Chain A
Amino acid sequence: MASSSTSVVVSNKEKENKNTKKVTLKSSDGESFEVDESVAMESQTIKHIIEDGCANNEIPLPNVTSGILSRVIEYCKKHKEAAGESEPSVTSYTSNSTTNPLTEWDTEFVKVDQNTLFDLILAANYLDIKGLLDLTCKTVADMMKGKTPQEIRETFHIKNDYTPEEEAEVRKENQWAFE
């Protein structure tokens, strides 16, 4: 009995039209953002607020400005969408872990100025969004890798407050790392 060679995938677009629950997030500078509850719940912090029943009208986020919040929401939307469309992962212990289909999108997403990057890190930390925190932290790590200490200072505007004697002491203390 021959089977058909293609299988039908239920389109997620069909689900969009259903009545989805929404929540409103309010940034520190007073702007309101209405998002799907499921997207907002990418943030563990928000998830707990909703689950504790404290999300009546709006959820205030006093630590996040509107500019950053809109970016965070963009990230959550994109990742929620992708999670919904991918096939359930088949645990295959001999193959490598599934590659992230959003790698390119993520790379573009973090192409921002340093200030915005750090704002995103702090927002991801406060909102407890693991994927975003890992992504932004890894981006900063990549900015540090392979650079000399002076180069790192310049990149991140770190002021060297060691006296020459102190600096020599530290170098000696961790000699192996500087060779």
Chain B
Amino acid sequence: MAEMKRCTNIDRISNLPWDVLDTILVHIPLKEAVRTSILSSKWRYKWTGLSRFNIDDKCFPSYLSDKVLRWKVILKIIHQVQSNHGGPVEKFRLAAYCMPNHCDLDQWIWFLTDKGIKELILKEFDSIKRFKLPPEVFSCPQLSCLELYGCIIMLSPTFRGLNSLISLNLSHIYISCDTLESLIANCPVLERLTLINIDHSTVFKISNLNLKYLKIDSKFEDICLKSVPLLSTVDIRLRVKPRHSDQGKACNLVRVIGCLYSINKLILSSNFLEFLAYNDVPERLPAMLNHLLTLDLRDARLDSSKVVKVLLSILCSSPSLEELIISVSPLCRYTFLDFQRSECLVGLYFNKLKVVKIRGLLSTNHECEFIKFILAHSPVLETITIVTYGGEIIPNSVLLQFEPASEHVKVISLRS
């Protein structure tokens, strides 16, 4: 293609429109972006106008390990930005080991909310749970992603909600049940909620008409998922042994999981399975989980007949299940896969089940029967992977006896 001969030594980068240059500079580490200040006089303050700031440990030279001094550096950055910044700040991420002065941080957050911050990530503070987050954060109209670690959250009485918040991630946070409930309920476009190690909330009450993804890894005594019609993925791990609940109350499995009609993916871990097992677990849930595609049980205590009942009950209620993953807890000395007791299950066919992965088996008879059962009742099964811990892998001779319903199934048996 004939192109006009052009002088190839023109500086075309320094005169790029600012939003284009910003798009370039946000792809390089903050430290290098700040170094552009030395390129020419034109470049001196360009970096202070960046729309995204990511302050992490890479910003500091390795010898600077004192957390107070590190904060001094961060403060310098913040002050320069405050003095020179023209446009909006879209994203601010602070994930560095340092000791912030709370007054300074308050002021900076004010500045950011003024600048229409959309993504705010504050992590790894020195004084965990003593930093009270300025309530202004919760009246930021454009905030779409908020990730907080180690602070105290209190809402002001004028809190009306975060209308643009799509993703909320709270880790090691001190927040009361009511505040958390109010925060979640008043974010109309919230899609993703992650709660890790939340203090001071014994009961999680989650109600949000738009929520699609929920992950909890925390201590709690009870959980209530109400009005979550779009909830598609649930991943819950309970960090403490559940307390024995009162007799006469409804079964936890039915109460918590049984109402998640649009659920696609369930990831349930260890103690939470025990929690769900409280009070009589029915053979099948009152309503089918017609959209459940993936069931993933982690650290499952299959030595408890109650937990096994939870597994079986969900299996009986999931006609569309495509993927079944079970990781047996290494604490189990034996497993109790007494599935033949379930009348519901025995006659069931898993017409959509394609992938099965079970790890941590102990090669007991029950287990072999269970695998045989799965194979015989899964007409479209593509692969089944079995991993046994220690001991013998299920011998090929036994596997060959199983008569799978699916012609093309691939059986993989491994030892860990």
Question: Footprint of B on A, CB under 8 Å?
Answer: 1-3, 5, 67, 70, 91, 93-94, 113-115, 118, 121-122, 125, 133-134, 137-138, 140-142, 144-146, 149, 152-153, 156-162, 166-167, 170-171, 173-174, 176-179
- How distant is B40 from chain A, measured CB to nearest CB, in Å? 5
- How distant is A74 from chain B, measured CB to nearest CB, in Å? 12
Tell whether, in the assembled complex, residue A140 and residue B233 are in contact, meaning their CB atoms are under 8 Å apart: no
B400 within 8 A of A: no
Interface positions of B from 73 to 91, Cβ below 8 Å from A = 73, 76, 80
A144/B28 contact (C-beta < 8 A), A114-B12, A118-B13 known: yes
Q: Mark B350-371, 1 if CB is under 8 A from A, else 0.
A: 0000000000000000000000
Tell whether, in the assembled complex, residue A170 and residue B8 are in contact, meaning their CB atoms are under 8 Å apart: no
Which among B3, B40, B60 is the interface contact of A161 at CB below 8 angstroms?
A: B40
Interface core residue of A125, A137, A146, A174 (most chain B CB under 10 Å): A174
Tell whether, in the assembled complex, residue B233 and residue A144 are in contact, meaning their CB atoms are under 8 Å apart: no
Chain A residue numbers with a CB within 8 Å of B64 are 176
Chain A residue numbers with a CB within 8 Å of B341 are none
Question: Footprint of A on B, CB under 8 Å?
Answer: 1, 3, 6, 8-14, 16-17, 19-20, 23-25, 27-29, 31-32, 34-44, 59-61, 64, 73, 76, 80, 213, 232-233, 235, 265, 267, 379-380, 405-408
Tell whether, in the assembled complex, residue A149 and residue B38 are in contact, meaning their CB atoms are under 8 Å apart: yes
Chain B residue numbers with a CB within 8 Å of A152 are 36, 39
Tell whether, in the assembled complex, residue B13 and residue A156 are in contact, meaning their CB atoms are under 8 Å apart: yes
* 10 pairs, A vs B, C-beta closer than 8 Å: A2-B380, A2-B405, A94-B267, A121-B16, A157-B11, A159-B40, A160-B39, A162-B38, A162-B41, A177-B34
Chain A residue numbers with a CB within 8 Å of B11 are 156-159
A115/B61 contact (C-beta < 8 A), A122-B20, A160-B40 known: no
Tell whether, in the assembled complex, residue B9 and residue A67 are in contact, meaning their CB atoms are under 8 Å apart: no
What CA separation (Å) do A133 and B17 show in the bound complex? 13
The residue in chain A whose Cβ has the minimal distance to the Cβ of B407 is: A2
Apart from A161-B40, A174-B35, what 14 extra A-B contacts exist at CB < 8 Å? A1-B379, A2-B380, A3-B379, A125-B19, A134-B23, A137-B20, A141-B28, A159-B11, A166-B41, A167-B38, A173-B37, A174-B34, A176-B60, A178-B38
